[in-house]
């Protein structure tokens, strides 16, 4: 389909994905790669509008299946608007979250089932999977305390109780095992430069 390379970053709240993506983008650009960095849910006009509905703290009654379908819709739109065109141009696409977020959060933590959520995402993505995925492994209590220290605005999912974030973490562990060829588990509880060095090494081996 394309000559670019699609790389995704996964992890709980406060795992450091945003900073890592910025550092990796800078490094790859310095080596003359064309890089697009983006995020889910959102990343394009319609996908951002869907994001606002999903994460709105005024929507506490959202049904879990509705939530899963909205994430899949946002994913579909973002793929069509941003990811596929960039891959067709030969870019490296660095995406903050993708299908594995839905498997861990909706499939496992919300209890909808990893396989059921995988199925709706197959439809949404037509089977497009990243070439590489990094799960930044940080314990939920550590990640959550980082975002509190950052004073970042809390969205509807951030506000879930610690039990939910622990279930997300367990979900990621299961998903990482299930897709162990694609997903690299990276210890994120270290200095950011050490985490970054591990990731960039793996990326440079693949591209």
Distance CA(157)–CA(117), nearest Å, equals 18
By CB under 6 A, tell whether 40 contacts ligand TMP.
Answer: yes
CB nearer to ligand TMP: pick between 40 and 137:
40
Total residues binding ligand TMP (CB under 6 A): 11
DSSP 111-175: SS-HHHHHHHHHHHHTT---SEEEEEE--HHHHHHHHHHHTPPP-TTTTS-HHHHHHHHHHHHHH
By CB under 6 A, tell whether 165 contacts ligand TMP.
Answer: no
Residue from 41, 107, 140, 171 touching ligand TMP (CB under 6 A): that is 41
By CB under 6 A, tell whether 169 contacts ligand TMP.
Answer: no
Closest approach, Cβ 204 to ligand TMP, in A, equals: 26
By CB under 6 A, tell whether 71 contacts ligand TMP.
Answer: yes
Residues 83-102 that bind ligand TMP (CB under 6 A): 97, 101-102
Distance CA(207)–CA(203), nearest Å, equals 6
DSSP 12-28: STTSSHHHHHHHHHHHH
Closest approach, Cβ 51 to ligand TMP, in A, equals: 8
By CB under 6 A, tell whether 15 contacts ligand TMP.
Answer: no
CB nearer to ligand TMP: pick between 19 and 197:
19
Give the residue from 41, 27, 182, 52 showing the smallest Cα distance to 106: 41
Distance CA(153)–CA(63), nearest Å, equals 23
Residues 102-161 that bind ligand TMP (CB under 6 A): 102, 105-106, 155, 157
Residues at the interface with ligand TMP (CB under 6 A): 13, 40-41, 71, 97, 101-102, 105-106, 155, 157
């Amino acid at each position: 389909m394309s000559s670019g390379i699609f790389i995704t970053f996964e992890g709980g709240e406060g795992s450091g994905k945003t900073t890592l993506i910025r550092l990796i983008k800078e490094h790859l650009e310095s080596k003359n790669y064309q890089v697009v960095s983006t995020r889910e849910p959102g990343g394009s006009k319609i996908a951002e509008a869907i994001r606002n509905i999903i994460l709105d703290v005024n929507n506490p009654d959202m049904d879990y299946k509705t939530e899963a379908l909205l994430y899949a819709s946002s994913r579909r739109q973002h793929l069509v608007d941003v990811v596929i065109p960039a891959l067709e141009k030969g870019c490296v696409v660095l995406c903050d979250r993708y299908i594995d977020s839905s498997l861990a959060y909706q499939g496992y933590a919300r209890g909808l089932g990893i396989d059921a959520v995988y199925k709706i995402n197959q439809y949404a993505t037509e089977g497009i999977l990243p070439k590489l995925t990094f799960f930044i492994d940080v314990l939920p209590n550590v990640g959550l305390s980082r975002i509190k220290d950052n004073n970042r605005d809390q969205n509807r999912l951030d506000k879930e109780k610690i039990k939910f974030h622990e279930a997300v973490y367990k979900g990621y562990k299961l998903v990482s095992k299930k897709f162990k060829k694609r997903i690299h588990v990276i210890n994120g509880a270290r200095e950011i430069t050490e985490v970054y060095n591990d990731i960039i090494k793996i990326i440079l081996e693949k591209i």
